[in-house]
Amino acid sequence: MKTKSNYSNKKILVLGLAKSGFAVAKLLKKMGSDVTVVDSNPLENNVEAQELIDDGFKVITGSNDASLIDDSFDYMVKNPGIVYENDLVQQAEKLNIPVITEPEIAYSYSDATMVAVTGTNGKTTVTTLIQLMLKHSPEFKNSYYAGNIGIPISDVIQKATKDDVIVTELSSFQLQGTIDLHPHVAVLNNIYSTHLDFHKTRENYIKAKMHITKNQTENDYFVVNWNTEEWRNLAKQSKAQILPFSDNQELDHGAFVKDDIIYCNGEKIMNTDEIKIPGEHNVQNALAAISVAKLYDVKNEDIIEVLSSFCGVKHRIQYVDTFGGHKFYNDSKATNVEATIVALSAFKTPITLIAGGLDRGNGFDELIPSLKGKVNNLIVYGETADKVIESAEKAAVGNIVKVNNLTEAVPEAYKQSDAGDVILLSPAAASWDQFHTFEERGDQFIEEVETLKGEVK
């Protein structure tokens, strides 16, 4: 167990529960911390809060009042999604109390090797692929995945030993609250403009992302998408050894594609058409995963086995079902325009697109080139519906229908589309106008597809 970050006998306020807050509170208590938990949700129906109270924690619910923290606290561990403008967070900063996130605590607890993955899009796919590949590595007894993928690092870190590896998906929200986090291998999959409602500027967003490599040394590795000049320049900020990957240029070292063949450090690995999940973006995701796998001596046949059998991450261009000649795909994790552009590019057949969600103030004109000639029907709902319609009309999408919610959207998409079409949920927006999470949104889509299937038979 690491000793450089010792939270025992420290007074710590955990702000916000959900999965990560609940898990880190438990871990901190195990580490010997004096923990107070604050959650804005009322105690009624707050299962996590009730369980912590039963376990002897001090828990305050239904409030975020700034008076709940004073200078007797040593740290605040903030739920990643809580904005820094929150009154309690502001008060902590005024009192010079460090505001950190769950990965920082979890990292301090274990000597397991950490591989960390970030990026605007593809994080979950890359994290999963790396974990599946590293199961075949001769260097590790066990491999786990955790983090923004939906599994708190604080849970997984307690069962991992120094002989294991934890592949962690880290969002910009999580990374902004890190101080000593130091992965041995860090992956930057890509960076686009998103979450600017939280970070305010693209510069701040990038700065948060780059926390993933800020503590790395020349003994570590930084795997970077080499497709753009911006991302290549970001690599210069790292002290780690740079491992580039690219699907648009041949590289002297690293992973790249040439004539539809994937190479890594000059060695042929596999053909791109052997990758089961569709889309050019998944070739990039594969390159990132291969770059890490080859660091740990994973054999080519094991890499090929993973990439030729992996069907995709749930909620990320996830195949759901086919009936009536229509194929249904769940891409609820597309919470920004760039992710939806990626999803649209994955299909060659006509698309009926279901889109819309939380209005973060951005427009949707970036979608226009991807909508043109590819999306035959558009079904929109949510706060952004009218904005999406405005951009779709500029793209000359022939058939646009506005509905109230996802329950109405699925049968309407089926009604408006033709046999042979793909019906794709790819919202290009966050879910929080009508759902708690993108997972909840995706699960409802799957349920609505199942309901529709029973009705049309």
Q: Of 351, 344, 357, nearest to 378 (Cα)?
A: 351
Sign of CA dihedral 410, 414, 417, 419: positive
Bind-site residues for ATP: 119-125
Sorted by sequence, the CB contacts under 8 Å of residue 415 that are 6+ apart come out as none
What whole-number distance in Å separates Cα of residue 20 and Cα of residue 39?
12
What whole-number distance in Å separates Cα of residue 275 and Cα of residue 142?
25
361, 386 contact by CB (below 8 A): no
Q: How large is the angle between the packed helices 406-416 and 438-456, nearest 10 degrees?
A: 50
79, 18 contact by CB (below 8 A): yes
What amino acid occupies position 190? N
Helix (H, G, I), strand (E, B) or coil at 90: helix
Query: Residue 413: in which H helix or E strand, if any?
Result: helix 406-416
Helix (H, G, I), strand (E, B) or coil at 124: helix
What amino acid occupies position 135? K
**Structure-token match 């995945």, residue found:** 145
196, 205 contact by CB (below 8 A): yes
What whole-number distance in Å separates Cα of residue 442 and Cα of residue 421?
20
Sorted by sequence, the CB contacts under 8 Å of residue 285 that are 6+ apart come out as 122, 125, 126, 129, 189
Helix (H, G, I), strand (E, B) or coil at 102: helix
107, 182 contact by CB (below 8 A): yes
- Backbone φ and ψ for 242, nearest 5 degrees, come out as -90, 130
Instruction: Extract the tokens encoding 229.
Output: 């000049």
Q: Of 378, 312, 380, nearest to 344 (Cα)?
A: 378
Bind-site residues: 119-125
